[in-house]
């Protein structure tokens, strides 16, 4: 699992929670860190915020594009406090599997992730 969020406390708490639930967790707080991890490691799921860093730019959209380019099999969950309807629409058009608003109890995030991992992959061929 990859967690991308510029808030250290969020990365820590999610890493601890999901680690206790059997996930191997990597975290990144900046776009460059996320890019290095995405290029070197395969993930079943990524949880990311849309706004990273002091400029609060929409770097999360760039992370989504990186995942699609390098790891198209990765299920993507956006967890953000800043998502507008337009940003949610753009994220979904880019292939995001779930769009959640902060704050969200980690147990609910875990339920969404479990559902995604139990459902057919994004790129599974479905019978006609």
Q: What domains sit in the chain, N to C, each tagged with a CATH number?
A: 2-118 (3.40.50.2300)
pLDDT digits (tens, 9 = 90+) for 57-77: 678 899 999 999 999 999 999
H/E/C letters for each residue in the chain?
CEEECCCHHHHHHHHHHHHHCCCCCEEECCHHHHHHHHHHCCCCEEEECCCECCCCECHHHHHHHHHHHHCCCCEEEEEECCCCHHHHHHHHHCCCCEEEECCCCHHHHHHHHHHHHHCCCCCCCCCC
pLDDT digits (tens, 9 = 90+) for 81-121: 877 889 899 999 999 999 999 999 999 999 999 999 998 76
> Model pTM?
0.90
């Amino acid at each position: 699992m990859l967690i991308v969020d510029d808030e250290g406390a969020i990365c820590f708490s999610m890493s601890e929670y999901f680690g206790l639930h059997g996930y191997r967790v990597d975290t990144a707080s900046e776009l460059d860190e996320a890019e290095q991890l995405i290029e070197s490691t395969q993930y079943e799921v990524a949880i990311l915020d849309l706004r990273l860093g002091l400029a609060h730019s929409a770097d999360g959209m760039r992370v989504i594009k990186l995942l699609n380019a390098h790891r198209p099999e990765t299920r993507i969950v956006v967890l953000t406090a800043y998502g507008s309807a337009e940003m949610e629409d753009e994220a979904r058009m880019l292939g995001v599997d779930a769009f959640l608003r902060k704050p969200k109890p980690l147990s609910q995030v875990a339920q969404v992730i479990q559902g995604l991992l139990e459902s057919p992959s994004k790129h599974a061929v479905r019978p006609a």
